[in-house]
């Protein structure tokens, strides 16, 4: 009887250890890096665009200009992406990368980018910013 009790107790302890390990890996997965695609815009303009309906927000994101994003007042607010009508703010590293990207790009508007990042709420911890591999139809839907 003692052997059975010891075996059951051992199984319970092992089960708890496995559950904790899975719980820990779930936290790691939540912080996993992924790529988000959207229009690169400054926070001043992007947060206003996000107040509009999806179609209008997408249209304004598409028309937003590099010139506007690099104006002193807009640049001072930082950068982010407008995606599916929502604005996601970059961290300090992302702001720096966005400014570098904007200074190098030849695009005057329709600045659709892929952002490698981790997400914390509506904020993005940016690893890199590149030209988007996909395009966007007028309705705001991505295509490859």
Residues 92 and 132 in one domain: yes
* Domain span holding position 95: 34-143
Encode pLDDT of 25-37 as tens digits.
Answer: 444 445 678 999 9
pTM of the model: 0.73
Question: Does one domain contain both 43 and 78?
Answer: yes
Location of structure tokens 């640049």? 75
Question: How many structural domains compose the chain?
Answer: 2
Q: Are residues 6 and 47 in the same domain?
A: no
Q: What is the DSSP letter of 105?
A: -
Tell me: do 70 and 99 sit in the same domain: yes
**What is the separation of C-alpha 128 from the centre of its chain, rounded to a whole number of angstroms?**
11
Per-residue DSSP letters for 4-20?
Answer: HHHHHHHHHHHHHHHHH
Task: Kindly state whether residues 56 and 86 are assigned to the same domain.
Answer: yes
Tell me the helix, strand and coil percentages in the chain, rounded to 5.
45, 30, 25
| Tens digits of residue pLDDT in 35-94 | 999 999 999 999 999 999 999 999 999 999 999 999 999 999 999 999 999 999 999 999
Map residue 1 onto helix, strand or coil: coil
């Amino acid at each position: 009887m003692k052997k059975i009790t010891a075996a059951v107790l051992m199984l319970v302890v092992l089960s708890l250890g496995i559950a904790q390990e899975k719980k820990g890996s779930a936290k790691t997965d939540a912080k996993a890096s992924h790529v988000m695609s959207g229009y690169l815009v400054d926070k001043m303009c992007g947060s206003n665009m996000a107040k509009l309906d999806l179609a209008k927000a997408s249209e304004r994101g598409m028309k937003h200009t590099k010139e506007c994003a690099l104006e002193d007042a807009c640049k001072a607010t930082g950068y982010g992406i407008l995606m599916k009508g929502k604005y996601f703010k970059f961290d300090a590293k992302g702001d720096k990368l966005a400014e570098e990207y904007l200074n190098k790009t030849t695009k005057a508007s329709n600045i659709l980018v892929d952002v490698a990042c981790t997400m914390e709420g509506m904020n993005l911890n940016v690893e890199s910013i590149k030209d988007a591999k996909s395009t966007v139809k007028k309705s705001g839907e991505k295509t490859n």
